[in-house]
Amino acid sequence: QVELVESGGGLVQAGGSLRLSCGVSGRTFSPYVMGWFRHAPGKGREFVAAITWSTGSTATAPSVKGRFIISRDNALHTVYLQMNSLKPEDTAVYYCAATERGWTDAPSEYNSWGQGTQVTVSS
């Protein structure tokens, strides 16, 4: 497992932007896939986006496609989630996660998780 620390959450008005960061540390290897998930009150944990360390291939959920962009900086061991055109329904705790089990959007397949960062979008 690796240690993950998220930052960058906060309160923003609808239409605004935020950038989340996830620092990766604890072991020398790079996890195969990094993902962002979110958890809103009364809902299950939802896949948002994922990226592979090696190739930078990405995938985003339909609900955020065209608004959110995932990227990584291998040298800094950091993954980012740029969130644009934010909507009130994007309000949630956002989690960074890592897996060595290959490409997946299933939360159960990720074995390392950060502590989460709150994103609140006001209307």
Band (pLDDT 50/70/90 cuts) for residue 113 is: very high
**Above 60 in pLDDT, residue 114?**
yes
Given a cut of 90, whether residue 1 has pLDDT beyond it is no
Does the pLDDT value for residue 105 go beyond 80?
Answer: yes
- How far CA 2 is from CA of 6, 29, 84, 85, 120, in Å, comes to 13, 9, 28, 31, 27
pLDDT in tens, 57-88: 999 999 999 999 999 998 899 999 999 999 99
Lowest-confidence segment of 23-27, 31-35, 95-99 by average pLDDT: 23-27
Both tokens assigned to 20 = 């989340």
Q: So what's the pLDDT on residue 28?
A: 55
